[in-house]
Amino acid sequence: MTGTGYAILAYGIALSMMLLYGLGMWRQRRKLLRRVQQANGAAAADAAAPPAREPDRASPAATLTAAE
Amino acid sequence: MTFPRFLAPLFWGATIALLAGALLMAVFYAPIEQTMGPVQKIFYLHMPVALTTFAACFVVFAARIGYLWQRQPVWDDLAQAGDQVSVLFASIVLITGMIWAKQAWGHWWTWSPRLTFSLILWLLYVVYLMVRQSIESPDRRALVCAVYGVIAFLDVPLVYFSTKLLPDVHPASIELAPEMRQTLLVWLLVAPIVCGGFIVARYRLFRLARATGAQS
């Protein structure tokens, strides 16, 4: 291999390593942000859902049970 | 630490443009050195990346001292980010150095003091990543890594001063033409910018992972 070939090899490897490291971080960041969005979505859905109903004590059925 | 959304794309766009400019300078602007020929152009990448590796190792060292002093997870995250980038840059230094050595000296590797200390530095920081993975408890892991990180940094002065204090085949200084010096200066600007960008990006990722509970 010539000197030019070695120089191209060195720059190619170095820049590829930097690029791969940067892309790896970018992918990881996207994955984490998606997880945060999913968690936020789930929390918002929980907040928007109606609360679990307690038995209506004034309903006819409750009155009847109490009278018994 | 929160940044405006446009800042990261702007920073990386400018950095890539600067990197492309530095690459073009190394290829077309810097003249071919008479003795070594085109392979000498590796020097514009190799030397700035080596100096930047020392700076990244210093970030790890300072963050470890910070952790030992304050025991705050932010220091641990910063040290971990610095360590990963140190390994990346030290790997580039070793690989580009070996490629240059093959052409200049006729063999890939020789056990000269600088090369040996550089390899030890790389190994120390790789082992540090492995030690990190092997400890379960987060507090204990951070403490062990803090002590290890401080000790590992002691190799950095050995790498730097090895060519000055010990007989070594590695060149201690090279005479440069003005165009070569300008190209080198641009690379000396680009390499720390890329390194700093990586450390900040990785640090923010660790903070985000910690906030979402995805920390390993």
What distance, in Å, lies between the first and last C-alpha atoms of chain B? 21
Asked whether the predicted pLDDT for residue A66 surpasses 60, the reply is no
Number of domains within chain B? 1
Contact B194 A21 (CB under 8 A): no
What ipTM was predicted for this assembly? 0.87
A35 touches chain B (CB under 8 A): yes
In a domain, B7, yes or no: no
| Within a domain: B28 | no
Q: pLDDT band for position A44 (50/70/90)?
A: confident
The confidence score (pLDDT) of residue B205 equals 92
CB contact under 8 A, B92 and A13: yes
Burial B160-190 (b: 16+ CB within 10 A, else e): eebbeeeebebeeeeebeeebeebbebbbeb
Q: Is pLDDT above 60 for A58?
A: no
Return the number of other C-beta atoms located less than 10 Å from residue B47's C-beta.
19
Tokens encoding B42: 């590796």
Helix count (H) and strand count (E) of chain B?
A: 7, 0
Q: Is B24 on the interface with A (CB under 8 A)?
A: no
**Are residues A11 and B23, on separate chains, in Cβ contact within 8 Å?**
yes
Residues of chain B with pLDDT under 70: 1-3, 172, 214-216
Residue B47: half-sphere exposure toward Cβ, Cα within 13 Å: 19
Q: Give the mutation candidate from B12, B35, B96 for the A interface (greatest A CB count, under 10 A).
A: B96
Interface probe for B, chosen from A1, A2, A8, A11 (most Cβ of B below 10 Å), is: A11
Least confident segment among A2-6, A23-27, B114-118: A2-6
How much is the mean pLDDT over chain B? 88
Is the pLDDT at A57 greater than 70? The verdict is no
The answer to whether residue B166 is domain-embedded is: yes
CA distances from A4 to A10, B123, B183 (A): 10, 30, 18
Amino acid at A52: A
- Interface list for B 30-59 with A (CB within 8 A): 36-42, 45-46, 49
Residue B61 inside a domain? The answer is: yes
Tokens 């720390």 correspond to: B192
Q: At what angle do helices B155-165 and B42-70 cross, to 10 degrees?
A: 140
CB B108 within 8 A of CB B101: yes
* Cβ atoms B106, B49 nearer than 8 A: no
Three-state SS for A17-35 is: HHHHHHHHHHHHHHHHHHH
State if pTM tops 0.90: no
Which has more confidence, B106 or A23? A23
Helix (H) or strand (E) holding B42: helix B42-70
Residue B146 belongs to a domain: yes
Distances B91 to A14, A68, B39, B143, B216 between C-alpha atoms, Å: 9, 83, 19, 26, 24
Range of the domain at B116: 38-210
Position B85 scores a pLDDT of 95
If one compares A3 and A30, the residue with the highest pLDDT of the two is A30
| B68: its two tokens | 């030992």
All residues of chain B having their beta carbon less than 8 Å from the beta carbon of residue A4 are 38-39
| A10–B198 C-beta distance less than 8 A | no
Decide if B140 contacts B127 (C-beta within 8 A): no
Q: Is B90 contained in some domain?
A: yes
**Which among B91, B201, B214 is the nearest to A25, CB-wise?**
B201
In this prediction, residue B175 carries a pLDDT of 76
Q: How confident is the model at residue A54 (pLDDT cuts 50, 70, 90)?
A: low
Residue B48 located in a structural domain: yes
- For B167-190, what is each residue's pLDDT tens digit? 777 776 777 788 899 999 999 999
User: Which of B93, B203, B208, B216 is the best substitution to test chain A (most A C-beta atoms within 10 A)?
Assistant: B208
Tokens for B102, please give them.
Answer: 């093959």
Taking contacts as CB-CB distances below 8 angstroms, the residues of chain B near A32 are: 205, 208-209, 212, 214
Better-predicted residue by pLDDT, A66 or B157: B157
Could you tell me how far CA B181 lies from the centroid of its own chain? 21
Q: Is B114 on the interface with A (CB under 8 A)?
A: no
Flag if B95 and A14 touch (Cβ within 8 Å). Answer: yes
